Structure 1
Amino acid sequence: MTIALETRNLSKHFGGFTATNQVSLTIGQGARHALIGPNGAGKTTLINLLTGAFPASSGEIYLLGENVTTRPAWQRVQKGLARTFQINRLFAGFTPRRSLMLAVAERYKHGWRFWRALESDKLVVQETEQLLQQIGLTDVADELVSRLPYGKQRLLEIGLALALKPRVLLLDEPAAGVPEEERHEVLTLVKTLPEDVTIVLIEHDMELVFSFADRISVLVQGELFLEGTPQEITASAQVRAIYLGEDG
């Protein structure tokens, strides 16, 4: 197995509080890996460590075979790591088309060409149109982001991550807050993401987790509690006890 993302005894302390404790994960290239656990389990902290938003207190992080533990976030992005957030971080005054154009242009290092309209760059325009189609926003491409339904804003955030051409994509609760009538669009996009992209999903929506993941890690109180296939996780009395309050 070619390893895309690996952590070795990764820990994060905030003063006397331990948010993640000695977490070791090995995620293969092209994997569909889910991180689940109750609120406060350390899932988002782990994502912040992987992306460089938080420095690790101890342990190591390897991205595509390279130790990136002390690398800044932008270098991890350049190496192929991208993420989405629990709460959208979008430019409300832009349109989806303009947002994606800027992201694509930056990847091509064309963003600094301030004297030249992005619309004149054929590569940028072509890729932007492909992304709009992929994420299902062609019909609202020129609407202001602030006017889009929340589900479509979530689709746009995933599209912005895809514009970076990531090799490893971290999705932090992509269905969080999305109304039921819009959820199917997010679920469909997540399940149809490129097979060569390694995807790590944090999600409380178990329907999405079990329809998506080929392997699941359960975090509890900052520690790796259990890891296995969806079938193994479903069969675990310990996991049922954590989520449902059942006696183990």
Structure 2
Amino acid sequence: MSAALRTIALEKRFGGLVATNKVDFTLEHGARHALIGPNGAGKTTFVNLLTGVLPATAGQVLLDGEDVTRLSQQRRARRGLGRTFQINQLFPAMTPVESVGLAVSERMGGGADFWRSLGARRDIIGEVLDLLERFRLIDVMDHPTARLAYGKQRLLELAVALAGNPRVLLLDEPAAGVPEAERRELLDTLAALPSDVSILLIEHDMDLVFSFADRITVLVNGTHFAEGTPGDVMKDPRVREVYLGEEEHA
């Protein structure tokens, strides 16, 4: 069986700068995989190559064995590749029920017809309410997003991403900026994400990385530097040297 997501010699150059250096990477089906690396490691560039935000200079991106290297972001999303962002991309004036409803409607091909469909179609409203309940948003479902606590906004971004029914989900620092008092709800929700969704977590919070991931890839200077179980990576002297005295940022 093909991997959920795979790259082969993936490369990105900006003039003479090599930002991603022939990276071979595999995300297995159902995996909980983390991507870490020191400041300037190239994690964001790598994720942008996976999702089609940036075109690759060379190499391949395979989604369930299908070459999607030349496909747009939208076409990759329609094939099951979802993403959350380091800085959320939510509409501040919309409520959670509207945001999730729009995402579900768009997936069903009725994005422009959203306002009629949400009230008229039981399948849409049922799925919306299920997602809002799963992500602990029922109590704030009618509140404008701009008024939600930041932890709730992060949960809403996850709900919107899951509304697209992805097979592969890339989580770009989901805990970034979330106050300590709101973190437990977010962490519990991350732990309960559907097991059939393959997840790549890009994160600087090492406590979250080691509690969430069953496999970790380390990226350094755009190069695949190390990979293994959390225990293996934690004991690797090369990884410890890279992180010695340096807090990791995206």
TM-score normalized with structure 2 length: 0.95
Partner Cα separation in structure 1 for residue 26 and residue 151 of structure 2: 31
> Does structure 1 retain, via aligned residues, the 8 Å contact 2:102–2:114?
no
For residues 167-223 of structure 1, what are the alpha-carbon distances to aligned partners after superposition, in whole Å with 9 as ceiling and x for unaligned? 000000000111111111111111110000000000011111111111100001110
What letter corresponds to residue 96 of structure 1 in structure 2?
A: P
Alignment partner, residue 36 of structure 1: 36
Alignment partner, residue 180 of structure 2: 180
Partner Cα separation in structure 2 for residue 23 and residue 2 of structure 1: 18
Shift of 1:112: 2.8
Identity of aligned residues (%): 57
Structure 1, unaligned stretches of length 5 or more?
none
> Does structure 1 retain, via aligned residues, the 8 Å contact 2:20–2:46?
yes
Shift of 1:113: 2.5
Shift of 1:109: 1.2
What letter corresponds to residue 51 of structure 1 in structure 2?
A: T
Partner Cα separation in structure 2 for residue 213 and residue 175 of structure 1: 14
Cα distance, 1:35–1:9 mapped onto 2, change above 3 Å: same
CA RMSD of aligned residues (A): 1.3
For residues 101-151 of structure 1, what are the alpha-carbon distances to aligned partners after superposition, in whole Å with 9 as ceiling and x for unaligned? 011011111223367252221111000000001111111111110001111
2:231 matched to 1:231? Answer: yes
Partner Cα separation in structure 2 for residue 117 and residue 58 of structure 1: 42
> Does structure 1 retain, via aligned residues, the 8 Å contact 2:101–2:114?
no
Cα distance, 1:115–1:48 mapped onto 2, change above 3 Å: closer
Cα distance, 1:114–1:144 mapped onto 2, change above 3 Å: closer
Structure 2, unaligned stretches of length 5 or more?
none
Partner Cα separation in structure 1 for residue 39 and residue 159 of structure 2: 27
What letter corresponds to residue 158 of structure 2 in structure 1?
A: I
Q: Structure 1: which 4+ aligned runs deviate by more than 4 Å?
A: none
2:167 matched to 1:167? Answer: yes
Q: Secondary structure at the match of 1:240?
A: helix
2:214 matched to 1:208? Answer: no
Partner Cα separation in structure 2 for residue 115 and residue 165 of structure 1: 20
